[in-house]
Amino acid sequence: MHTNNQIINIILISFFVCFVFSNTLIVPEEEPVPGFPGYREVRVLERKDKNSSWTIKEKYYEDANGRRHDVLPETDMKIFNRVEKPILKYKVKTGDNLWNIAKKYNSSVQHIKRLNKLSSDVIQADWLIQIPAEEYIRVMDLNELWRRGAELRKDARLMESITSFKAIIDKDLDDDLSSQSQFQIADIYLNDINNYTFAIENFKKVLENYPHSEEAKKSIFMLGYICSNYIESYSDAIFYYTMFLEEYPNDDLSYSVDYELDLLDSLNISNHLKK
């Protein structure tokens, strides 16, 4: 009779041999992904034949319960690392349910399910799940608003998209995400709705409310570009382009600004304005 451990070893060896001889090899990392407890990277290697070298065919992530994920949860949240103790690791016990776990740790069933990619309320004993703390729940809500805004814009539901991005700004929980949301609103008015007045108004809001952000730099350029190329307000274009060069003389975009100013100069715009 084989012991349970012997049976498991036999299965694992058979699994390994099967994949190696089919020129495919699954290699899970031993250490978890930094910043994502319970998740580890899994690489699928392949080769043309036994004399060829292995190459990476695909990569994905596996959680503590063996479920596959093509992307890590919440990867696009810049404020993840600034939240203290955002997630609690919890091993499910017999008799547990999500409602009791959420109540015990001041969390919510909805956020536990979202964080652990659970499609139902059913959980099993010995599962290792992640429980978001109250502050991280706020992060998740911001992330959901951002995702919704991006998806609505992709579906051309533009005013709903703007509403979603405005909700992030109104919550006023993170300047980085708020400045990005304000820039998104301006960009929607410019490129999707073609309302240049509202686009200018919202790019100016980026400058006023988030003057030290990356989006402020891009907004100065966009204000100059709109004034020069869309509404023919050349004096304003020169004003914003000059501001850009003064504040960001070594930025990559400065080459584009120089080009725009040279173009205005070639049209004698500058001399015309001086008169």
pLDDT tens digits in sequence order for the chain, 275 residues long: 545 555 445 444 444 444 444 566 666 666 566 555 566 778 777 777 767 676 777 777 777 667 777 766 644 344 444 444 567 888 999 999 999 998 988 888 988 888 888 888 999 998 988 888 877 888 888 888 998 999 999 999 999 999 999 999 998 888 888 999 999 999 999 999 999 999 999 999 999 999 999 999 999 999 999 999 999 999 999 999 999 999 999 988 888 899 899 988 887 665 445 44
Q: Are residues 22 and 64 in the same domain?
A: yes
Q: Say if residue 65 is in the same domain as residue 92.
A: no
Instruction: Please count the structural domains in the chain.
Output: 3
- Does residue 75 sit within a domain? no
| Residue 55 placed within a domain | yes
| 64 and 85 in a common domain | no
Q: Are residues 62 and 92 in the same domain?
A: no
Range of the domain at 22: 4-69
Residue 220 and residue 259 in one domain? yes
The answer to whether residues 98 and 119 belong to one domain is: yes
**Domain assignment of residue 182, yes or no:** yes
CATH at 115: 3.10.350.10
The CATH number of the domain holding residue 191 is 1.25.40.10
265 belongs to a structural domain:
yes
Q: How far is CA 65 from CA 39, 62, 137, in A?
A: 9, 8, 22
**What's the pLDDT at 69?**
73
Residue 270 lies in a domain: yes
DSSP per-residue string spanning 218-260 = HHHHHHHHHHHHTS--HHHHHHHHHHHHHH-TTSTTHHHHHHH
246 and 221 in a single domain? The answer is: yes
Residue 215 falls inside a structural domain: yes
Residue in 144, 149, 116, 151 with CA at minimum distance from that of residue 130:
116
